[in-house]
Amino acid sequence: MKFKKIITTGRVFISSDTHYAHKNICRGVTDWRTQDGEIPVGSTRDFDTIEQMNERLVNGINNVVGQDDTLILLGDVSFGGFENIGIFLDRLICKNIHLILGNHDHHIENDRENIQSKFLSVQHYLEVNINDKNFVLCHYPLQSWNGLNKGVIHLHGHVHLGPNRKFGNGKRLDVGVDGNDMVPYSIDAIIRVMNKIPVGSDMSDDHHLDGLVGVVI
């Protein structure tokens, strides 16, 4: 199993689901309501204004990711208008950005006004070796993935899990900003944590964990 290395500079960070300028994810201005007519606290971010939320997102990245570092985003960069994509990216110090497309990134997927040129690479899914460790990167959480039984780490976004729920069974982690105080993760820190977590799966009957001999499926 050989995972391709990507060219990185400096330190490597990863994050997901920034949702820059997304009105309804901002609690102070959201139109979202539960069936009881209440604001869904668990589905919104605790900011009074979109400007406050955007400032926290930008500072959360710029305070840890330098111009010579590499940032990998696992989708859902911004929301609420094509122009917000460029505004957000232009505010970031780091320009060495790889993107795994999310369900809200249709403008980027369609390469509107050559927006993909702001990224080093754009794809839906990536099997990659970073700092001598193999990763499966996807916006969406996978129950099983290539190399799961060999310690390959799966990183994803999409589900906006909080700090107490962001780890799956085995070496899987939701790297969305909502689970990490609006700050990207260091790949080195992820590796240190995942080295302590045993191989596992969210599927109780995943045959990749059975230790079968002579079986290739």
Kindly report, residue by residue over 162-188, the tens digit of the pLDDT: 999 999 989 999 999 999 999 999 999
Residue 210, pLDDT above cutoff 70: no
- Between 217 and 36, residue with greater pLDDT: 36
Kind and range of the H or E run holding 193: helix 187-194
Render 29-87 in DSSP notation, one character per residue: T-----TTS---GGGSBS-SSHHHHHHHHHHHHHTT--TTSEEEE-S--B-S-THHHHH
CA separation for the pair 44, 30 (Å, rounded): 8
CA dist 72 and 79 (Å) reads: 18
Q: Cα–Cα distances in Å, from 121 out to 7, 108, 118, 141? A: 10, 11, 9, 21
Residue type, 8: T
C-alpha to C-alpha distance for 203 and 132, rounded to whole angstroms: 27
- For the record, the structure tokens of 160 come out as 């906006």
pLDDT digits (tens, 9 = 90+) for 32-73: 999 999 999 999 999 999 999 999 999 999 999 999 999 999
Q: What are the residues facing 30 on neighbouring strands?
A: none
Q: What is the pTM of this model?
A: 0.93
Q: For the domain 4-209, what is the CATH code?
A: 3.60.21.10
